[in-house]
Chains A and B, each alone.
Chain A
Amino acid sequence: MSTEMNIPDAAARAAARPAAVEGFDTEKMSLSMGPSHPSTHGVLRLQMELDGEVLTKCDPVIGYLHRGDEKIAENMTYNQFVPYTDRLDYLAPLANNMAYAIAVERLAKLEVPARCQAIRVITAEMARISAHLLGLGAFGIDTGAWTVFMYAFTEREKLYTLFEELTGARFTTSYARIGGVARDVPEGWTQKVDAFCDQFLPILEEILALLTRNKIFMDRTVGVGVISREDAIAYGLTGPNLRGSGVPMDLRKDKPYSGYEQYDFDIPVGEHGDCYDRYLVRGEEMRQSVRIIKQAIAKFPSGPWYATDARKIFAPPKDKILSSMEELIQNFMIVTEGPQMPAGEVYFEAENPKGALGFFIVSKGGGVPYRLKIRAPSFCNLSILPKVCVGNLVSDVVSILGSLDFVMGECDR
């Protein structure tokens, strides 16, 4: 009783316990959490070694969702791989589509028109909101707040309706094409996005109010899973997890792509690097995303929505294909041979909701990549688990996993 009064925090109490008592040896227990566990957010398995309730070792076991996407990419043309990028970070397919398309366009040294860039920025930021809403909702469930998830999903539903109208699919959007997008935005769509943003901001404040000043949530997150600035950099963390540790790195600012330099937005950073900071950073990022979307819609450019000069990369318009022999042949060539790329190498990474999603493409010319490597942010973010979990309670591991907000579809790819 007295120790419980002196040290109210369970983890601190466990740590303050004498290491070994003469004649009272305890055995360590090994516990496997996952691959089918509600709080491992997918098929992640944690092989843990426990001393009492405190972790002494934590090994993430991954690969349960491995599909060999990188090898698949070597066997198909660049455009055919777009649906596979949907399935990397399946919570933000539009952002993946964009990152992949820009990577291939960098290889071809192709510039897409301003309208296409603006469409990509709007869709990527909508995808960021959608991914962070799910991240917050799932984090809420992990820490015992179910309502957040339901309210967040109501908003995601609205976003999905907008995605459906734009791309024809709610989840697997497959929207990008090399040199453009699959189709132009429908009439009145940008106004609908603008209206969504207006009604979303007060609802976002309401959702965040459920957690930000919630004592139960704060008890479970403040000071838990602290990642120091040095560790975050050393383990290659990116995205909100890195910014939560106080490193102001955001590729949208540092290496602007797709016209991000035109938009005015702030980078939220944490100070303590704990689970609570990572949560706060995600919440603030959604507000900034709304800012970016509103700016992009305010100066939404007209003009072509695909690279009209890329005759060997982007298929000609459909009415031309149906009426002119030359365009018909061009369409057949682009589909069967693939978009024609020069030989060379390119590495491009984009600031996705989970972190820096990179594509390294080696081309020997032609329409099929020789090698395509995907740098998945979730994979790198999970690499810190053995470091950050040790010394915490099992129940804190759930908080840490929720705050890291990873997707196994991307980690295992």
Chain B
Amino acid sequence: MSVLFYGFLLFASALLIHVIIWKIHLPTHQKTILLLLFGGTLAVGMILFAANGKLINFFGISVPRALSEFLQLFIFFSSLSLAYMVTYSALEADSPSLVMVMAIAMSKKEGLDEKTFNIKINDEVLLAPRLKDLVSEKLAYIEKGKYKLTAKGKTFARIFFLYRRLLKRPHKGG
């Protein structure tokens, strides 16, 4: 019971700190800060439990004490944090499918005609921001007007390329 309760408590604390910081000031390197924040909360929580275990007792539930409980807490908290972080990345950028669905939903019962649809959703909306992202995240750089991959970008591209081959998926996604 202690891992479930204190795992959720730590995760809720990290989420709360994250929302408070984001409300005060939106960080420039959001993913890095998020990673540090969740990692830091877990580390501080585990140190507190290990050092002051006998003093902490909510609703009669004692904190994790055994090594196996700490390991389970680590896996539990890390899994929840990773799941939140991948969801967060979906919040940062506008998903084309969601943009399309919302554009259609805004037209209500009248429906959205094909022409308006194509005017609203174009290269400027769908691709220009993602190209900027590649450069800002140091996955690519611009040289003489051409986009080129950095070593980090090449590694990323190869991982997905190989995994798609492993799953026998068509050559390119997108």
The answer to whether A and B assemble together is no
Residues of B within 8 A of A (CB): none
Which A residues contact B (CB, under 8 angstroms)?
Answer: none
